[in-house]
Amino acid sequence: MNLLLTAAGLRNETLREALRDMLDKPFGSANAVYIPTASLAEPGDHGWFVADLNRLHGLGWREFDVLELNGLPRQSVLDRLLHADVIYVSGGNHYHLARSITANGLADGILKALESRVYVGFSAGSMMFSRHLTAHSADVIGDTADLHVLGAKSVEPPFGLFDWYLKPHLCSPDFPERDDAWADDIAARADFPLYFLDDESAVRVRNGEVDVVSEGRWRFHP
């Protein structure tokens, strides 16, 4: 399984090169599918989403699909995922994304697809794999408003692969409250391991090995 779990997409050449290495073929010979589901739960200006979509599309894929997880037959979704070499999952509300995966019965099919495909996450898309994607972690991290905004009080982790949790946008200009003091406060309360990533960083999972790819700053609290 090859996962590139970015905080804010493929914003620098180090992250793009990491994807090239994991894909093991030119972008122009590969198919990509972009999943915007998490972004649809976010109100307000979506310029960030358009910029990310254009950034990924601009890498020059053989085919570039856009796939919403809700409202389509399960098998149609899985068939389109299987047609892709890279499954790219956008940012937004990570709880909405998790519920969309579980409610539509997609978790097992996505994991099966990822046995032979590369997954790239952007923010919310990168947060799907922790077994600590729960109401408890929402309380610890201060994300309960994001959990409750669409009427939910609980969430089930769709994949539950890792003991560690990922929190993006450390020291990001788009999230000025997420400074080192913010990370310190969360780490002091958390009863699970945490990666904090700035917008130039990603956690890479390749053949069971975990490391960080970065042109910026990141922190790990075991």
DSSP letters, 97-148, are HHHHHHHTT-HHHHHHHTTSSEEEEEGGGGSTTBTT-SHHHHHHHT-HHHHH
Average pLDDT of the residues in 155-179? 96
* % pLDDT > 90, the chain: 95
Res 68 pLDDT > 90: yes
- 135 located within any domain: yes
- 182 located within any domain: no
* Contact between 81 and 107 (Cβ < 8 Å): no
Task: Give the phi and the psi of residue 47 in degrees, each rounded to 5.
Answer: -60, -35
- 192 located within any domain: no
Tokens of 105: 């019965």
- 206 located within any domain: yes
In which domain, by residue range, is 205 found?
A: 2-160+199-213
pLDDT reported for residue 58: 98
Average pLDDT of the residues in 21-40? 97
Whole-model pTM: value is: 0.96
Average pLDDT of the residues in 92-107? 97
Residue 32 to residue 210: CA distance in whole angstroms: 23
Res 149 pLDDT > 90: no
pLDDT category at 193 given cuts 50, 70, 90 is very high
pLDDT reported for residue 150: 81
pLDDT reported for residue 152: 82
CATH of the domain at 118: 3.40.50.880
- 178 located within any domain: no
Res 191 pLDDT > 90: yes
- 120 located within any domain: yes
Q: How many domains does the chain have?
A: 1
Res 151 pLDDT > 90: no
Mean of the per-residue pLDDT values of the chain = 96
- 14 located within any domain: yes
